[in-house]
Amino acid sequence: MEQITTDSCRKFHTDHVALRLLCTYYGPGTEWLSTTQGQTAASPSPEDDFALIHRIPAGHIALLEGNKGPHANGQGVVHRSPPLSHLPMSERLRVLLTIDEPTACGMADEHNPTVRP
């Protein structure tokens, strides 16, 4: 779980994991592009065409397939953190939970995973 107050991860990208669970507990939710729009992380930026951008509402859970996902063919869900810098200072906050599958953090062979600093 992290508290975000900047425009970190503001560029559209894909993750180099099989699966990533996301849930925004507070603030604007993660933004994503549907695959039917033909966008990839390398495509021209859709920032000026807000009709292409979808937002996962705060409190909703999303399970995003990354580049290593079984059905991704090397191209996971294109997404980003929503920009915060244009918001009033009092609204520049997101609380985000991300959970990756154990293999993403080198814990695939551990039967009792431990928290690592």
> Hey, what domains does the chain have and what are their CATH numbers?
2-104 (2.60.120)
Q: What is the tens place of the pLDDT at every residue in 35-55? A: 655 555 555 455 555 568 899
Confidence class of residue 2 from pLDDT cuts 50, 70 and 90? very high
Residue 86 CB coordination number (10 Å): 9
pTM of the model: 0.75
Q: Which residue has the tokens 């062979």?
A: 109
Q: What is the tens place of the pLDDT at every residue in 59-115? A: 999 999 999 988 888 889 999 999 999 999 998 999 999 999 876 655 555 555 555
Cβ atoms 61, 103 nearer than 8 A: no
More reliable by pLDDT, 20 or 53? 20
Residue 21 CB coordination number (10 Å): 13
More reliable by pLDDT, 114 or 4? 4
